[in-house]
Structure 1
Amino acid sequence: MADSVYKVIELIGTSTESWEKAAAAAVGRAGESLRDLRVAEVVKLDLQLDASGKVEAYRAKLNLSFKFEGS
């Protein structure tokens, strides 16, 4: 088996419903333009709040790896 190289990028997904959906949104969007996605690591979870402290959005920061095919 040949050696492989993977690239890692950082993404932030958002959702008005949950952190799980925020993470899924980031991975889903990445899958539209990247091939051979390998691992998504949730690095940080946070909330976007309005002026009164109400949750506006859930945010999930991910490190996403995919197989590197560049020269």
Structure 2
Amino acid sequence: MAVMKVLEIMANSDKSWEDAVKNAVKTAAKSVKNIKSVYVKDQTANIEGDSITDYRVIVKITFQVDA
């Protein structure tokens, strides 16, 4: 049986929510090995005038812990 851990992190992008998720996974992968999945918990955006300036996500990243 595998042991899994979950990290909850926030990431952002000026392009899209999808890019923000990719940034979260890319950043987490620098220090966490064996990432198995990502779950998008929340999405928000900052607005200036009538334009979105910043996309933000809160994600849960699941990774396997070596036994």
Corresponding residue number in structure 2 for 1:36: 34
Cα RMSD, aligned residues only:
1.6
Of the two, which has the highest radius of gyration?
A: 1
Corresponding residue number in structure 1 for 2:43: 45
Structure showing the higher strand proportion among its residues = 2
Please list every run of 5 or more consecutive structure 2 residues that lacks an aligned counterpart in the other structure.
Answer: none
* Post-superposition offset of 1:60: 1.3
Please list every run of 5 or more consecutive structure 1 residues that lacks an aligned counterpart in the other structure.
Answer: none
Q: State TM-score, norm by structure 1.
A: 0.83
Q: State TM-score, norm by structure 2.
A: 0.87
State the Cα deviation string for residues 10-66 of structure 1 (Å, max 9, x = none): 01110001000000000000011110001100111110234x464220011101011
Give the whole-Å Cα distance in 2 for the aligned partners of 1:44 and 1:53.
22
Which portions of structure 1, spanning 4 or more consecutive aligned residues, are displaced by more than 3 angstroms?
none
Q: Percent identity?
A: 25
Query: Number of matched residues?
Result: 67
